[in-house]
Structure 1
Amino acid sequence: MHRILDRVKFCWCKTNRWHRALFLLIIAELKWIPGNRLGFECNDPSLSHPYTGDTISWKWLIAVTALLPLALMLVVEKIFHKSDDRKASTKRALKWSKEYLFGLLVNLVFVSILKVLVGEPRPHFFDTCGPKEADTCEGSEFVPRYTCTKQGWVAQSDRSFPSGHTSMAVHAALFVAWYLHRRLTLPSHTLTVRSLQATSVLSGAACAVSRVLDRRHHWRDVLAGAGIAVVGLQFTIFRLCKNFECPRETELKNGIDDKKINETGESPTALHDNANM
């Protein structure tokens, strides 16, 4: 047993953060971790909606949330943050995009694990699961254990909480909005930035609302997905992307401050206070 554990530790140490996150996502999606099923109330109207599909498919959502921020950052860095090194702006955009994608992956891992651990029935539970216990239960009797008769739809039936669509959409929307706030700071860009930020945030909100209207999630699932996105975004922006600060810009700012100190013998804060006196 010890040899097996040592082997697992050795293999784990040889992997990087991407391998580990993908591994956790795979075992969650394949339900290789102990899961749960919340059960259901007989004749529960909130679980009796028909399955109608997705307004926004997984493929479309992944394509937009993965590629749109990259395209936006490439354009902004190339046009508005030109450097003496022509490749510097592209490198910045690619680096931040990579960190963003990793943050999005971590977000998805947490959502997938919670889906398995909670096991909440979706609004179309009776339609896509067809639990055989529903034929014999009466009134509002609670059924803690059930067996789906539509085996091909099991994965679609009991993974409502939290909403993965919402979490990804909100993560991407707020990331774009904050990036624009940090990297397009000139007064002449204010109207453009506000318009793009509003479009981004409203798009994320529209995706969240569509999950409820499609009867794919309950409202609490959508709110939980948005909350996970907000928390994960703190990690993505401030830890991974360093709040979109460039080393050269920071060094230049510090250099200006040092120059002021050398010339006057006072710190920039003292100069500012003296100017206001």
Structure 2
Amino acid sequence: MAAQETEIKSSASIIPCFLFVELVLMAGTVILSYHFEYTDTFPVHSQGFFCYDSTLSKPYPGPESTSRPPPRLLYPLITVLPVLTILLGEVSAVFINPRWRTKEKIISCGDCCFFNPLLRRVVRILGLFSFGLFCTVIFAGAVQTVTGNQAPHFLSVCRPNYTALGCMSHLQYVSSPYACTGDPELITEARKAFPSKPAALGAYAAVYTTMYVTLVLKIKGSRLVKPSLCLALLSPSWLLCLLRVAEYRNHWRDVLAGTVVGSAIAVFLVTCVLNNFGSSTPEEKELQQKEEDEVPIPENLHPPAREKLSVVQDCGTPSSNVT
């Protein structure tokens, strides 16, 4: 049977929409995330504390660069690993899945611009992944700025003068914004604990990639390859959360909130925007399953063997009405 030719669909709005809508939104999220991450455009809320609060008196673990998962390792892992996984999955689908060309269409914009289906799909998936990363940074940074919740080592960098503050008991609350005498930069960073931004980014990347592996990749012959791959993708995110708590950089509730934020953004983008990466509908999956189950019966089998094989194929299928 001859292969079906790939259809060409004409669209005059794909380039203007990409240039004047999608790029503008992406640029806006990048600029806003930059202001939350590297500038003091949005001042952090100065939340008070209780005198001698043991939950905020943990030792200072040092700057982020001295962490066990340092930023130079964490952020490339969050970005490079999902990108490589998606690229490998999309390129493999072109060669493995013979029906791929019937699902995606070449889009022409005018007489000279033709957009390859593989390129369009990769740009759509990776572009939305990048957009979600910046949205995660913005959302986590906004919540940190509004709440101003302190890290477990807050009092170690704050260095309050309890005598001048008149602290007589553990129940006394200090609300003065000038109670701290330590380094202002360290104090500001210690007020950005809830939710944990590294935990949110790690959860977003892990859940997005795991959903891609679960919904798109087709691995035949083994039921353990796909779950094992998903667990391998989720494990670094869990390990990151444990290390953030163990190093006194975040409370357990901070990493839990960050994980919920990142996972929710990933699930929303995949299900509501990407429509589960354009995976097959239930009818298409049922048709594919039927075709996979239809094993031809060899002609050289003996009659008893042919009868047994026919019974195995018909097992579980509804019987036809007999007139």
Q: TM-score, normalised by structure 2?
A: 0.67
Partner of residue 92, structure 1: 121
Match of 2:58 among 44, 49, 61: 49
Give 1:237's aligned amino acid. V
Q: Distance in 2 between matches of 1:134 and 1:275?
A: 87
Task: State yes or no: 1:144 paired with 2:175.
Answer: yes
> Quick check: 12-21 or 223-232, which moved more?
12-21
User: Structure 1 pair 233/134, CA: closer, same or farther in 2 (3 Å)?
Assistant: farther
- Cα deviation, 1:179-234, whole Å, max 9, x if unaligned, reads 11111233325322111111111211111111100100111111111111122112
Q: Distance in 1 between matches of 2:22 and 2:207?
A: 34
Say whether the 8 Å CA contact 1:103–1:235 is kept in structure 2: no
Task: State yes or no: 1:232 paired with 2:283.
Answer: no
Partner of residue 139, structure 2: 110
User: Structure 1 pair 36/133, CA: closer, same or farther in 2 (3 Å)?
Assistant: farther
Aligned-pair Cα RMSD in Å: 3.1
Partner of residue 169, structure 1: 202
Partner of residue 307, structure 2: none
Give 2:174's aligned amino acid. V
Highest Rg: 1 or 2?
Answer: 2
1:190-209 equivalences under 5 Å are: 190-209=223-242
Say whether the 8 Å CA contact 1:173–1:200 is kept in structure 2: yes
Q: Distance in 1 between matches of 2:238 and 2:206?
A: 9
Partner of residue 3, structure 1: none
Say whether the 8 Å CA contact 1:39–1:121 is kept in structure 2: no
User: Structure 1 pair 151/133, CA: closer, same or farther in 2 (3 Å)?
Assistant: farther
User: Which structure has the highest helix share of the two?
Assistant: 1
> Quick check: 55-64 or 30-39, which moved more?
30-39
User: Structure 1 pair 138/98, CA: closer, same or farther in 2 (3 Å)?
Assistant: same
Give the gaps of 5 or more residues in structure 2.
Answer: 1-19, 107-115, 289-315
User: Structure 1 pair 178/275, CA: closer, same or farther in 2 (3 Å)?
Assistant: farther
Give secondary structure in 2 for the equivalent of 1:188: coil
Q: Distance in 2 between matches of 1:46 and 1:156?
A: 17
Give 1:223's aligned amino acid. L
Q: Report the CA distance between 1:275 and its aligned residue.
A: 5.5
Say whether the 8 Å CA contact 1:177–1:200 is kept in structure 2: yes
Q: Distance in 2 between matches of 1:253 and 1:14?
A: 31
Say whether the 8 Å CA contact 1:36–1:118 is kept in structure 2: yes
User: Structure 1 pair 134/214, CA: closer, same or farther in 2 (3 Å)?
Assistant: farther
Give the gaps of 5 or more residues in structure 1.
Answer: 1-11, 258-271
Give 1:228's aligned amino acid. V
Q: Report the CA distance between 1:125 and its aligned residue.
A: 0.6
Q: Distance in 2 between matches of 1:130 and 1:63?
A: 35
Q: Distance in 1 between matches of 2:162 and 2:191?
A: 15
Partner of residue 36, structure 1: 45
Partner of residue 17, structure 1: 25
Q: Distance in 2 between matches of 1:67 and 1:227?
A: 22
Give 1:109's aligned amino acid. I
Q: TM-score, normalised by structure 1?
A: 0.78
Say whether the 8 Å CA contact 2:244–2:250 is kept in structure 1: yes
Q: Report the CA distance between 1:111 and its aligned residue.
A: 0.1
Give 1:107's aligned amino acid. T
Task: State yes or no: 1:120 paired with 2:149.
Answer: yes
Give 2:133's aligned amino acid. L
Q: Distance in 1 between matches of 2:94 and 2:48?
A: 55
Q: Distance in 2 between matches of 1:14 and 1:180?
A: 26
Q: Report the CA distance between 1:122 and its aligned residue.
A: 0.8
Give secondary structure in 2 for the equivalent of 1:131: coil
The number of residue pairs the alignment matches comes to 247
> Quick check: 61-70 or 111-120, which moved more?
61-70
